Structures are given as structure tokens and as C-alpha cells.
């Protein structure tokens, strides 16, 4: 999903409620907050990394890290988050902006996140069973 499509989705979610600000900097700041909120709850596969040379949000599975997504700046820029989580970003933004339906949008975002996270947990468990993720011990050094 591009930034432009995200803006359109949020405008649609807010019909009859507050309007989305026209200021792109405010929208990007809200996206940054939404990314942090979502990444603290969901293990976005696109954000997994083994290097600490980027902005790390938290630990991931098997010695990996969850990095901070890159922010979009132009309407054609793609969101740096798993495609299935893009609707959660839209819902979180709508929850920030809504005058009356913030709780409902936040609940919908949480449903999307829980559904995504359950799928990812199954995937990660399968990968661990195949030996793809190996926990890094204290004496083993950084993940490779």
C-alpha cells in the first residue's frame, strides 16, 4: 500500500467524523506512532533483521530484531510494513483522528494485528522446527 492509498483509506474510515489533516508532516508523524504501536504487538516479517545497525524496536524470534519501518514521504512511497498489516496502520491512524469512533478503530486494528500475529506464530514455529531460527547464546556472539 502506498502513502497515497493509506490516506484515501483513512479518509474513507473517517467519513462523517473528523477529517484527516492536510499537513503531510502530521500524517507522517502519526504513521510513525502507528508503526511503533503495531510493531510492539506484531512480529512483522518484513521488519525482521539480524543486524543492530538500524533503529531496533524490540527482539524478534531466534536472535533476530524488529527494526523500525522506514517512513514514507511521498504519496507514491510504499509502506514499509507487511501488506497484511497496512489495514491496521489505517485503523490506528483513524483511531488517532476520530472524534467519536477512536475505540472502534483501535479495536479493529487489534483484530487485524491478532489475526496476523497468529499466522506469523505458526510460520515461526514451523521455521524453528526446521532449524531456521536458532537462539543465540551469550557466548555465541551476534546473530549471523
User: What angle do the packed helices 86-97 and 102-129 form, to 10 degrees?
Assistant: 150
Residue 133 vs residue 93, higher pLDDT: 93
User: From CA 111, how far away is CA 50, in angstroms rounded?
Assistant: 28
Average confidence (pLDDT) over 132-140: 47
State yes or no: pLDDT of 136 exceeds 80: no
The pLDDT of residue 125 = 82
Average confidence (pLDDT) over 64-93: 96
Q: What is the pTM for the complete model shown? A: 0.86
State yes or no: pLDDT of 115 exceeds 60: yes
User: From CA 121, how far away is CA 17, in angstroms rounded?
Assistant: 36
State yes or no: pLDDT of 111 exceeds 60: yes
User: From CA 44, how far away is CA 93, in angstroms rounded?
Assistant: 18
Give residue limits of the domains in the chain. 3-134
C-alpha cell read off for 29: 508523524
Cβ neighbours of residue 102 closer than 8 Å, sequence gap 6 or more: 94, 95, 96
State yes or no: pLDDT of 97 exceeds 70: yes
Amino acid at each position: 500500500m502506498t502513502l497515497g492509498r493509506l490516506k484515501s483509506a483513512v479518509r474513507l474510515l473517517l467519513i462523517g467524523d473528523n477529517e484527516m489533516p492536510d499537513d503531510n508532516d502530521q500524517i507522517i508523524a502519526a504513521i510513525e506512532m502507528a508503526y511503533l504501536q503495531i510493531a510492539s504487538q506484531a512480529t512483522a516479517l518484513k521488519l525482521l533483521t539480524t543486524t543492530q545497525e538500524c533503529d531496533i524496536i524490540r527482539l524478534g524470534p531466534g536472535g533476530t530484531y524488529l527494526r523500525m519501518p522506514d517512513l514514507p514521504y511521498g504519496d507514491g512511497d510504499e509502506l514499509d510494513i507487511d501488506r497484511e498489516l497496512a489495514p491496521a496502520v489505517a485503523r490506528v491512524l483513524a483511531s488517532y483522528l476520530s472524534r467519536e469512533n477512536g475505540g472502534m478503530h483501535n479495536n479493529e486494528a487489534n483484530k487485524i494485528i491478532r489475526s496476523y500475529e497468529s499466522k506469523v506464530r505458526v510460520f515461526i514455529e514451523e521455521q524453528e522446527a526446521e532449524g531456521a531460527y536458532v537462539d543465540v547464546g551469550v557466548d555465541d556472539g551476534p546473530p549471523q
